[in-house]
């Protein structure tokens, strides 16, 4: 599903990734692990097409994201569900509205929204919070709302950038259980984290990064 | 409700005072624009009335034969510069005089029909030809003198009257155009500033939408719709204020100007005129909204 071939990315003098190659297969759950500045977020941004590599190829299926046209980026991103450390929810919209915006982006018929929103909020356990605004939710609930928005579009791939970074252990554990459940339903999950306890508990494949290089795949 | 429309309406509800500022300026602009359009219509009609209705009176010599009068009348009726020729006999002239002095019957009783000359009255198709026609008519053997209707102030002032009307109409159009242009410019800037503030507030939202795969149009559409909502509210309210003002003032204005048709007398025609103005303003308003929102969006892209 995802293939990095000799990818190098620099920010001025700083080398974020150097000649990185790895592959993630369909339905896999992969942790990107490493300390801050190791290049984890850069990998996720490259998959999303937020940034372009200096050299190498980033393949999403058969599409080379490194060379994708600007106008084709939305279509690529619609296949990816993103969960961020800072949640990136729209503060002026309720939980249900935050989820429905993903459906609107995908141009799903409005008549199908209520059913899909209800279903996904049930999966993440936020059915009773659907009319709450982000300011009224706890950290764990915010992250679950973010996951609901990612899942509602039925993406091929879930990218999670430190999704447990702002959560306590119990809430982080709940979040991981949800991601595992999603993965078991057939979605590919790539999660960036530096939380060794979570990685150890989940027993999934780990790609270790340090100083922009892969030290373990 | 359409998703983008809902987003636009929510955005307006979230910052009502910015929206009200923009809408008020637009209401004033389109109200003044509508009133100016009505004024331009009326002034054009006044000018047209005076351009086409100045009556030249050729006073005939005493004792002129009916054949000679008929010959002159026939000659003038064949002249393309002349229209609506009418023969006024001495008796009719007296009758006109009596009507004019109806408030003071004594003046009417003291005069004899013989002191009023018979005349040929006619109007001109184009006032610029007046001097030539008058000179030619003056040269006719049966004509004693040539004059103009009293309300135009006599022969020498005829050109002045029309010139003054033309100037007044020109200045109404020019002044009105400049004023309306300034208002449109102000509205445009207020619209751009308001929308730019909206875009700045929604910058994070746009970044998130971008990450979840929103197309550019998905991010732009609510801003464009919001702009159209402002403008259409301005157009409709401004036009309604004009409609109320015109309906309120029309009877007095029509009465004051008498036979000069400054406004259509039939309600249907009046509504057609105002409907035409509304149509033009809606089209102009949408152009203004699209230009304003596109400028605000392109400014936000440049400042990123």
Residues B167 and B39 in one domain: yes
Distance between CA atoms of B206 and B146, rounded to whole angstroms? 79
CATH of the domain at B96: 3.30.70.3040
Nearest CB among A80, A89, A105 relative to B214 is that of A105
| CB distance B21 to B194 below 8 Å | yes
Q: Residue B24 domain-assigned?
A: yes
Query: B59 with B137, same domain?
Result: yes
The ipTM of this complex is 0.86
- Is the same domain home to B106 and B178? no
Q: How far apart (Å, rounded) are the C-alpha atoms in residues A164 and B18?
A: 39
B54-77 confidence digits (pLDDT tens): 568 899 988 888 899 999 999 999
In a domain, B154, yes or no: no
A82 vs B3: CB contact, 8 Å cut-off?
A: no
CA distance B215 to chain A (A): 6
Boundary of a domain, candidates B148, B168, B187: B148
Say if CB B140 and CB B58 are below 8 A apart. yes
| pLDDT recorded at residue B156 | 52
How many Cβ atoms sit within 10 Å of the Cβ of residue B229?
19
Strand-by-strand arrangement of the B119-124 sheet: B82-88, B119-124, B55-60, B143-148
pLDDT in tens, B72-93: 999 999 998 887 788 988 888 8
Mean pLDDT score of chain B: 85
Say if residue B304's pLDDT is above 60: no
Verify whether the Cβ–Cβ distance B214 to A75 is below 8 Å: no
CA distances from B48 to B40, B124, B297 (A): 12, 12, 47
Q: Is residue B242 domain-resident? A: yes
B144 and B216 inside one domain: no
pLDDT-derived band at B293 (thresholds 50, 70, 90) equals very high
- Domain residues for the domain of B279 are 3-50+160-303
CA A200 from centre of chain: 20
CB within 8 Å of chain B, chain A residues 137-156: 149, 153
Instruction: Indicate if B194 and B293 belong to the same structural domain.
Output: yes
Tell me: pLDDT of B40 over 90.
no
Asked if residue B238 and residue B136 are part of one domain, the reply reads: no
Q: What is the pLDDT of residue A104?
A: 93
B253 belongs to a structural domain = yes
Q: How high is the pLDDT of residue B151?
A: 42
Q: What is the pLDDT of residues B89-134, one digit of tens each?
A: 888 888 888 887 877 777 767 777 678 889 998 887 776 777 788 8
Are the beta carbons of A77 and B205 separated by less than 8 Å? no
B291 with B188, same domain: the answer is yes
Q: Could you give the percent of chain B with pLDDT greater than 90? A: 35
- Quick check: B169 pLDDT over 90? no
Chain-chain contact of A105 with B3 (C-beta, under 8 angstroms): no
CA-based nearest residue to B191, from B159, B240, B227: B227
User: Is B218 close to A88, i.e. CB distance below 8 A?
Assistant: no
Q: Is the pLDDT of residue B276 over 70?
A: yes
For B271-283, give the DSSP string: HHHHHHHHHHHHH
Pairing of strands B119-124, B82-88: antiparallel
- Give the number of other CB atoms < 10 A from CB of residue A71: 9
The answer to whether the CB of B123 falls within 8 A of the CB of B84 is yes
Query: CB distance from A77 to chain B under 8 Å?
Result: yes
What are the pLDDT digits (tens) for A98-133? 999 999 999 999 999 999 999 999 988 999 999 999
Do B143 and B186 fall within a single domain?
no
Model pLDDT, residue B150:
42
**pLDDT score of B166:** 75
What mean pLDDT comes out for the span B34-59?
81
What average pLDDT does range B162-174 have in this prediction? Answer: 78
Max Cα-Cα span within chain A: 51
pLDDT in tens, B178-220: 988 888 898 899 889 988 988 888 888 888 999 999 998 999 9
**A105: nearest Cα among B214, B171, B103:** B214
Cross-chain residue pair B212–A104, CB shorter than 8 Å? no
Domain membership of residue B10 (yes or no) is yes
Res B153 pLDDT > 80: no
- Mutation site, B212, B218, B219, interface A, largest A CB count within 10 A: B212
Residue B192 counted as domain residue: yes
In a domain, B155, yes or no: no
Token pair 């047209």 is found at B48
B281 shares its domain with B220: yes
- Show which of B106, B124, B148 is a domain's final residue: B148
A77: which chain B residues are within 8 Å (Cβ-Cβ)? 211-213
pLDDT of B49 above 90: no
Question: Residue A40: which of A162, A146, A158 has the closest Cα?
Answer: A162
Q: Which of B212, B215, B218 sits opposite A82 (nearest CB)?
A: B212
Number of structural domains chain B divides into: 2
Same domain, B285 and B191: yes
Domain end, chosen from B114, B148, B182, is at B148
Task: Select from A194, A166, A216, A161 the least CA-distant residue to A43.
Answer: A161
User: Is B204 in the same domain as B268?
Assistant: yes
pLDDT along chain A (217 residues), means of 10: 93 92 94 90 94 94 91 93 90 92 92 93 92 93 92 92 85 89 92 90 92 85
Please enumerate in sequence order all residues whose Cβ is within 8 A of that of B259, keeping only pairs 6 or more positions apart, or say none.
Answer: B49
Write the DSSP assignment of chain A as a string of letters. -EEEEEEEEEETTEEEEEEEEEEE-TT-EEEEE-STTSSHHHHHHHHHTSS--SEEEEEETTEEGGG--GGGHHHHHTTEEEEETT----TTS-HHHHHHHHHHHTT--GGGHHHHHHHHHHHHT-GGGTT--GGGS-HHHHHHHHHHHHHTT--SEEEEESTTTTS-HHHHHHHHHHHHHHHHTT-EEEEEE--HHHHHHHT-EEEEEETTEEEE-
For residue B183, being part of any structural domain is answered with yes
- The reply to whether B204 and B220 lie within a common domain is yes
Helices (H), chain B: 3-14, 16-52, 66-77, 90-100, 105-109, 130-138, 155-201, 203-211, 216-257, 267-303
């Amino acid at each position: 599903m995802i293939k990095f071939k000799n990818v190098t990315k620099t920010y001025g003098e700083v080398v974020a990734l150097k000649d990185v190659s790895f592959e993630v297969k369909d339905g896999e759950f992969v942790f990107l692990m490493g300390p801050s500045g190791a290049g984890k977020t850069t990998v996720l941004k490259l998959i999303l097409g937020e940034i372009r590599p200096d050299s190498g190829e980033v393949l999403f299926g058969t599409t080379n994201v490194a060379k994708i046209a600007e106008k084709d980026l939305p279509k690529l991103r619609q296949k990816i569900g993103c969960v961020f450390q800072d949640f990136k929810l729209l503060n002026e919209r309720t939980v249900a509205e935050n989820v429905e915006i993903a459906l609107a982006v995908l141009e799903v018929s409005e008549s199908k929204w209520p059913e899909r929103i209800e279903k996904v909020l049930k999966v993440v356990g936020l059915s009773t919070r659907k009319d709450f605004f982000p300011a009224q939710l706890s950290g764990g609930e915010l992250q679950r709302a973010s996951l609901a928005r990612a899942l509602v579009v039925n993406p091929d791939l879930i990218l999670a950038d430190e999704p447990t970074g702002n959560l306590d252990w119990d809430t982080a554990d709940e979040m991981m259980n949800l991601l595992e459940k999603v993965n078991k339903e057939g979605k590919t999950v790539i999660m960036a984290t530096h939380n060794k306890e979570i990685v150890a508990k989940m027993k999934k494949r780990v790609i270790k990064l340090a100083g922009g290089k892969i030290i373990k795949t | 409700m359409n998703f983008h429309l809902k987003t636009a309406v929510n955005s307006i509800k979230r910052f009502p005072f910015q929206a009200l500022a923009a809408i008020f300026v637009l209401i004033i602009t389109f109200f003044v624009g509508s009133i100016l359009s009505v004024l331009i219509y009326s002034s054009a009609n006044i000018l047209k009335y005076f351009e086409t209705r100045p009556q030249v009176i050729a006073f005939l010599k005493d004792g002129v034969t009916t054949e000679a009068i008929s010959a002159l009348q026939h000659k003038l009726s064949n002249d393309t510069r002349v229209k609506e020729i009418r023969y006024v006999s001495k008796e009719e002239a007296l009758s006109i005089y009596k009507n004019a002095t109806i408030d003071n019957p004594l003046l009417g009783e003291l005069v004899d029909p013989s002191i009023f000359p018979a005349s040929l009255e006619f109007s001109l198709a184009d006032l610029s030809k007046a001097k030539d026609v008058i000179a030619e008519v003056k040269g006719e053997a049966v004509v004693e003198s040539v004059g103009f209707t009293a309300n135009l102030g006599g022969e020498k002032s005829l050109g002045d009257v029309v010139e003054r009307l033309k100037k007044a109409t020109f200045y109404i159009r020019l002044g009105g155009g400049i004023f309306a242009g300034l208002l449109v410019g102000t509205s445009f800037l207020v619209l751009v500033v308001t929308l730019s503030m909206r875009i700045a507030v929604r910058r994070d939202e746009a970044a998130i939408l971008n990450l979840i795969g929103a197309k550019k149009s998905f991010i732009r559409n609510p801003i464009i719709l919001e702009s159209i909502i402002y403008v259409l509210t301005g157009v409709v309210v401004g036009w309604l204020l004009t409609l109320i003002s015109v309906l309120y003032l029309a009877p007095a204005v029509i009465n004051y100007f008498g036979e000069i048709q400054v406004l259509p007398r039939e309600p249907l025609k009046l509504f057609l005129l105002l409907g035409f103005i509304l149509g033009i303003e809606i089209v102009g308003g949408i152009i203004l909204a699209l230009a304003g929102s596109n400028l605000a969006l392109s400014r936000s892209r440049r400042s990123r």
